[in-house]
Amino acid sequence: MQIETRPSDLSGCNFPEHIDPLLQRIYQARGVNNQAELDRQLSCLPKPASMQGIPAAVARLVVALEEKHQVMIVGDFDADGATSSALMVLALTAMGYANVEFLVPNRFDYGYGLTPEIVDLAAQKNPQLIITVDNGISSVDGVAHANSLGIEVIVTDHHLPGTVLPAAVAIVNPNQPGCEFPSKNLAGVGVAFYLLSALRAELRAQDWFVKQNRVEPNMASWLDLVALGTVADVVPLDQANRALVHQGLLRIRSGRCRPGIQALLRIAGKNPARLVATDLGFAIGPRLNAAGRLDDISLGIQCLLTEDPEMAMNTARALDELNQDRKLIEQDMQREALTIVEKLAFDTEIELPSALCLFQPDWHQGVVGLLASRIKEKYHRPVIAFARGDNGELKGSSRSVPGLHIRDALDSVATQNPGLITKFGGHAMAAGLSLDEGKLAEFQQAFEQQVAKSLSADDLQAKLVTDGSLESQQLSMQTAELLRESGPWGQLFPEPCFEGDFVIVQQRIVGEKHLKLVLAPVDQPQLAIDAIWFNIDTAAWPNLAAGTVRCVYRLDINEFRGQENVQLLVQHVQLKNNK
């Protein structure tokens, strides 16, 4: 593991004096150079009019409202899809749409997106209009089938498009060709929020709410859903997404959020008043995702839709149980995957290949994405984990490392090997694909060759990038609070982490595989600081021979029994000397 420091040069920056010098250094290292780029108010958001497809989509939605059309929302089976679906149903209903339903395909029966089979299922409800959320940009056949049945389709999505776009009445996706919308990183729920905001503005301009004697909805009231879906989908937190997440967090902290989100927070043991973005990603997101991974994401959508606190708590408990089941399944799969990789390393007696393709016949289709992520983190290789689908087909989920655009890599493999991949789609860092089981070995070879051409040996070296060191006096509640409130932190806007030399004062195992530490800075040995290192190697730690260590850590606030104390969240440890 290499430890590197983020470069920071404040010479070209224009920060006001009231911004702490530490924050100035941190912001500049993330490409932020002035106060305006730190604006987290909704007024800083790009205007909806600049997003291609919104005018056509709004026009069709106005017709649907005036003519009381049946509208079917077709979502994806993850947290982004769940929040997008809930947002669409809630906002359209509040605007006066009387016939709005949602449908999310069970991933095991229908696969991903607006497939022709899903259109047939939706057609049983006789909709005049289908709106996709967090999917649809690759649903060429599904949209064509809907058109043949006389059902029009509005696509709202954020995934990267293929060479052929679906023949929808409107496509709202900032990543489609020709779209000049400046923020390309919106999650599916962010795209849906933009469309709905534009729709509300048009209805206001037409005096719809006044004429119908209907209270005009406040779009900000659903920012809790937008924040949750944005963080859970791990999209880059550019300024637009930081503003959406920040405003959503403010609503949740003040108690103005969906009963389902309140219930999920209670189940996770999180204090809403102290919520940060990572809590959405690690506490709520997995519980919503568990429904789509193991069962049916409709349960998660119902949790987000209900106004009844008791029903919200009941569904939150059910989601929590599914998440516990998911953890057990994932642990078994991870053990098997590690055995495969270790055997591969032993058999080759050389460096691991540039990419890893893993498959076991009994792996769970809904959990392979998490498995790929875990193996990628351990070996710093692009990973694709496969599970069996139907009719001899394998379903793969991939995770990439910096330097490799995984969807583009799959596109290159598909172009150079026609017929090898049945279908694929995704982002720079994550993608999904399908192929015939009999072609796995051929695909593995082609994929490894493509990655080997794209990544250097240095790219395959895991790195921990820090924000340098902190002075001993900065290891304080004041600094921890400053950092906590200066986010939101997340993908491509990482939470600050630091490095420094410490003496281990105490160390003990807690919770089976976590190391509880008391550390003292080498230059201030009288300053004892609590620290925790999660998921350590219990064969190597506790290490009573360890004396001085170099730690990479995040500065955190530990809340226990109403007391708050500064705490270091240890990310990595290097031994400096032994006792």
- State the Rg of the chain over Cα: 25
Q: Report which DSSP code applies to 546.
A: B
Mean pLDDT of all residues in 441-466 = 94
Which one of 3.10.310.30, 3.20.20.140, 2.160.10.10, 3.50.50.60 gives the CATH number of domain 351-454?
3.10.310.30
For residue 249, the cross-strand partners are none
Residue 399 pLDDT > 90: yes
- Residue pair 463/450 in contact by the 8 Å Cβ criterion: no
CA distance 27 to 6: 11
Residue with tokens 């973005």: 277
Identify the top-confidence range among 258-262, 363-367, 378-382: 258-262
Return all residues near 419 (Cβ < 8 A) that are at least 6 apart. none
The predicted pLDDT at position 65 comes to: 98
Separation CA 341–CA 508 (nearest Å): 30
- Predicted confidence (pLDDT) at residue 501 exceeds the cutoff of 90: yes
Does the pTM of the predicted model rise above 0.85? Answer: yes
Helix 309-348 / helix 368-379 crossing angle, nearest 10 deg: 50
pLDDT band at 104 (very low <50, low <70, confident <90, very high): confident
What digits encode the pLDDT tens for the residues 320-332?
Answer: 999 999 999 999 9
Mean pLDDT, residues 416-437:
91
Domain locations in the chain as residue ranges: 48-318, 351-454, 464-575
pLDDT at 390: 85
Q: Determine the pLDDT at residue 579.
A: 56
From CA 536, how far away is CA 571, in angstroms rounded?
A: 10
Fold classified for 464-575: OB fold (Dihydrolipoamide Acetyltransferase, E2P) (2.40.50)
Residues 484, 477: Cα–Cα separation, whole Å: 10
What average pLDDT does range 398-404 have in this prediction? 94
pLDDT (0 to 100) of residue 347: 57
pLDDT of residue 156: 98
Instruction: Specify the pLDDT at position 11.
Output: 84
- Residue 492 has φ and ψ, to the nearest 5°, of 60, 10
d(CA 305, CA 288): 13
* 536: three-class secondary structure by DSSP: coil
Specify whether the backbone of 136 is left (phi greater than 0), alpha (psi in -120 to 50) or beta.
Answer: left
Listed in sequence order, the residues at least 6 apart from 134 whose beta carbon sits closer than 8 Å to its beta carbon are: 75, 76, 78, 80, 81, 84, 156, 157, 158, 159, 187, 188, 189, 191, 192
Q: Which whole-number Å values give the CA distances from 137 to 109, 199, 265, 501, 517, in the listed order? A: 20, 21, 33, 50, 49
Give the pLDDT confidence of 9-59 residue by residue, as tens digits. 888 888 998 999 999 999 999 999 999 999 999 999 999 999 999 999 999
* Cβ atoms of 484 and 405 closer than 8 Å: no
Q: What is the mean pLDDT of residues 205-215?
A: 96
Same fold, 351-454 and 464-575: no
pLDDT in tens, 349-365: 457 889 999 999 999 99
Residue 322, H or E segment: helix 309-348
Instruction: Give the pairing of strands 152-156 and 170-172.
Output: parallel
Higher pLDDT, 10 or 307: 307
pLDDT tens for 519-532 read 999 999 999 999 99
The 10s digit of each residue's pLDDT in 150-172 is 999 999 999 989 899 999 999 99
Q: Can you name the residues that pair with 430 across neighbouring β-strands?
A: 399
Task: Name the least confident of 231-245, 254-268, 288-302.
Answer: 288-302
What is the phi/psi pair of residue 300, to 5°? -65, -40
Q: What percent of the chain has pLDDT over 90?
A: 85
Looking at domain 48-318, its CATH class is alpha beta
Give the C-alpha separation, 535 to 540, whole Å: 12
Q: Cis bond leading into 174, ω under 30°? A: no
